Structure 1
């Protein structure tokens, strides 16, 4: 089998789609000896080369333009043309952006339907047009992969696909995300450097993720008005990840909410966190909070659990599937309940210790190896069905 894979997000490993693309390629390449992989990479004028591709994985560069129009042209023209050019037997677009027409059998991964289901994301006419385009492409794909049973239900309901044409395959957590281990002198020095890099306090509650409206960080801030009164300045809330440039229909005005709520002394922005530093931030947090309303999977709470950090998340979308009984999954619209869970985990050591024990056990069920194996099964199914269909057409033509 020769797989052509859309590598639009290859050089963006800090994004969910980029991380998924890389992990899938790395593990398929390592686990499957008879699978040829070609990355179809959009090469912008003067843009960077694809970084970190395994030596045995081929790269087909496709000239591409910048911006949204360039992305759409790559998805709809450049990618399918390259699939034909390299002689692929199967194409996979690892995000919701497949072509309307594909010269080879097509698999599309739709991580979630957030941009379709959240009104703030489709007020712009261009966004509505793109949603219509990628919805049509998903309906025309041979098979759709998604990250959870919750997302599968959304896809079946809102895109009208048959259940048999959608497969839920969970994502995984990488080896660096483990509980604290014995510390060497070098490790201690590294941790001290990370503490200085982000100016970390001795104790903190952590949020790490995006700041779009559906991430529901505003409710977390409202919850923290109760937490601050109970715990004081000794347990600040750290907001990790790129801070929005300013308020918009997609991004709330966080600074205004922090100011109005009297949280300026209790909330700290620490900015973008390098991938290699994330395990340390998780391990040293008293609690990790992830209050999202719409999530196709939810890698951050999984990573936090794998590090042995107690997790408070919402009971929306896929998050209860991921956390199971190893964390608090609460109503995303209930800041008092959210605050109560945070306070309980800080104050009740036996409760926190129980979740520190359960978290890594729950996270161990989610591996990138399993993601790759189950994805390969979908590839085999699609190629087999296409072969049977082709043989039937040839027989009927005689």
Structure 2
């Protein structure tokens, strides 16, 4: 079988979609060694690919970035599938072409553009959302990351249940509680990390609930702030907007800037050590399709305090402390308990490691391959 996969997000390896595409490309050749797997990549892309997959260059005219992506998805990718004689076309994010020469399988990680109006505030965002909605009914099958997302898809897109399958993501073998003395010391020095800290690693868009993240420390700073400052990792937005929240002005306004540190973007290879160095992981997101940072934290043996939302309830089981996403006072109490109660913290560490071990990329790839074959 000849399977062509869209590689647009390989250009953005730090995104969740980029990580998903990369890990599937690593593991699909193991799951189906008899397949011929091609990866459609924009012309001029100079990155490397895992073994067992072949690049298929895709030409696009010189256009602004947003229009380049649209051209790639709707024009260039179907043409490449026809030229390459693909038996299946797999798009690992929500952007199916309106027409394609082979059955299309698409992964809809979540329905954020439909569930949160601020994500489609611009005319371009509304038009793009309308386009993918129009193209979705013609796809052969939809994959998604969790049963929670599957329920959203069935409810909002009104598709028949047999056309939508939840395939949980995996966690890379790099995320482990086992110390790496050289890496751990290098990361602590590179990011000027305190001896102990609570970590937040994720985005800064509105659904990530940055206001509650900081509000937790307005309740907790007197008890734990000096010993366990909040370390916020990730590329910060240039000020707050309708879609993004900059934590720095809020920390100053609420008088907690002394116990909140922002360290900026973190290289992918440094993330395991950053997790391992944390005493707890705080994640008050209002909506997730899966919750990969939570899984990575658990795999590294870090106790997790997070929001009680459907995808995270499904993901963590009894391996994390979950509370309502807007109850900063309760989250502060949970965080203090995890940090000062050794038995509770150790219990969550052990449960998290066991729970994370159930999520592997090879299992994700095998189930994905079954769906691709089945259509």
Of the three residues 292, 304, 308, the one matched with 1:299 is 292
SS in 2 for 1:247: coil
Match of 1:60 in 2: 56
2:363 is the counterpart of 1:370: yes
SS in 2 for 1:293: coil
The superposition leaves residues 306-356 of structure 1 with CA deviations (integer Å, 9 ceiling, x where unpaired) of 111000111114111111100012100111111111111111010000011
Deviation at 1:191, TM superposition (A): 2.3
Match of 1:309 in 2: 302
SS in 2 for 1:265: helix
Match of 1:323 in 2: 316
Deviation at 1:242, TM superposition (A): 0.5
Q: Is the 8 A contact 1:237 1:267 kept in 2?
A: yes
Higher mean displacement: 249-258 or 231-240: 249-258
Of the three residues 93, 96, 99, the one matched with 1:95 is 93
Q: Is the 8 A contact 1:293 1:317 kept in 2?
A: no
Match of 1:8 in 2: 8
Cα distance between partner residues in 1 of 2:94 and 2:248: 32
How many residues end up aligned between the 2 structures?
373
Deviation at 1:55, TM superposition (A): 4.2
Match of 1:48 in 2: 45
Q: How does 1:181-220 map to 2 (within 5 A)?
A: 181=179, 187-220=180-213
SS in 1 for 2:38: strand
Match of 1:240 in 2: 233
Match of 1:29 in 2: 29
Match of 1:345 in 2: 338
Deviation at 1:66, TM superposition (A): 4.0
Cα distance between partner residues in 1 of 2:35 and 2:198: 44
Deviation at 1:102, TM superposition (A): 1.1
Deviation at 1:294, TM superposition (A): 1.3
Cα distance between partner residues in 2 of 1:333 and 1:56: 46
Q: Return closer, same or farther for 1:104/1:310 CA change in 2, 3 Å cut-off.
A: same
Cα distance between partner residues in 1 of 2:56 and 2:346: 50
Cα distance between partner residues in 1 of 2:347 and 2:190: 31
Q: Is the 8 A contact 1:177 1:279 kept in 2?
A: yes
Q: Is the 8 A contact 2:31 2:369 kept in 1?
A: no
Cα distance between partner residues in 1 of 2:114 and 2:229: 35
Match of 1:121 in 2: 119
SS in 2 for 1:99: coil
Q: Is the 8 A contact 1:152 1:167 kept in 2?
A: yes
Q: CA RMSD in A?
A: 1.2
The superposition leaves residues 113-144 of structure 1 with CA deviations (integer Å, 9 ceiling, x where unpaired) of 11221121112121111111112222221100
Q: How does 1:65-214 map to 2 (within 5 A)?
A: 65-181=63-179, 187-214=180-207
Higher mean displacement: 147-156 or 8-17: 8-17
Deviation at 1:152, TM superposition (A): 0.3
Cα distance between partner residues in 2 of 1:232 and 1:104: 56
Q: Return closer, same or farther for 1:7/1:232 CA change in 2, 3 Å cut-off.
A: closer
| Runs of 5+ consecutive residues of structure 1 not aligned to the other structure | 182-186, 383-398
**Which of 1 and 2 has greater Rg?**
1
Cα distance between partner residues in 1 of 2:21 and 2:197: 32
Deviation at 1:252, TM superposition (A): 2.2
| Runs of 5+ consecutive residues of structure 2 not aligned to the other structure | none
Cα distance between partner residues in 2 of 1:245 and 1:330: 30
Match of 1:256 in 2: 249
Deviation at 1:190, TM superposition (A): 3.4
2:219 is the counterpart of 1:221: no
Cα distance between partner residues in 2 of 1:317 and 1:135: 24
Q: Return closer, same or farther for 1:368/1:190 CA change in 2, 3 Å cut-off.
A: closer
What TM-score results when the alignment is normalised by the length of structure 1?
A: 0.91
